[in-house]
Amino acid sequence: MQPRNKTIGVMGSGKEPWLVFSEPLGAWLAQAGFNLLTGGGQGVMLAVARAFAGVPGRAGRSIGILPTQADPPM
């Protein structure tokens, strides 16, 4: 069985990206081999995901959970 990467969830403002914090965090998570879980929105979540995805050779995956309603509702 292969070891699994741990997953870190990052949620934050959907309006303000807080780039001074978000970009270094996203890059560090990718370099450290974590998976990234976000709400898939704008702002902090987008900034972290872009920085994460921009790391060459990263082992982790970026996962965005988009809020939506089931069709039909459950």
In the chain, alpha helices (H): 19-31, 44-53
Domain that holds residue 33: 7-57
Task: Please state the separation of Cα 3 from the chain's center in Å.
Answer: 20
**What is the Cα Rg of the chain in Å?**
13
Question: In this structure, is residue 64 part of a structural domain?
Answer: no
Instruction: Give CA–CA dist 6/16, Å, rounded.
Output: 27
Question: In this structure, is residue 74 part of a structural domain?
Answer: no
Cis ω for the linkage preceding 72 (within 30 of 0): yes
Give the pLDDT score at 70: 57
Q: pLDDT higher for 7 or 39?
A: 7
Question: In this structure, is residue 13 part of a structural domain?
Answer: yes
Question: In this structure, is residue 72 part of a structural domain?
Answer: no
Question: In this structure, is residue 20 part of a structural domain?
Answer: yes
The pTM of this model reads 0.85
| pLDDT tens-digit readout, 11-68 | 999 899 999 999 999 999 999 999 999 988 899 999 999 999 999 999 999 999 987 7
Q: Are 48 and 26 in contact (CB under 8 A)?
A: yes
Question: In this structure, is residue 2 part of a structural domain?
Answer: no
Question: In this structure, is residue 14 part of a structural domain?
Answer: yes
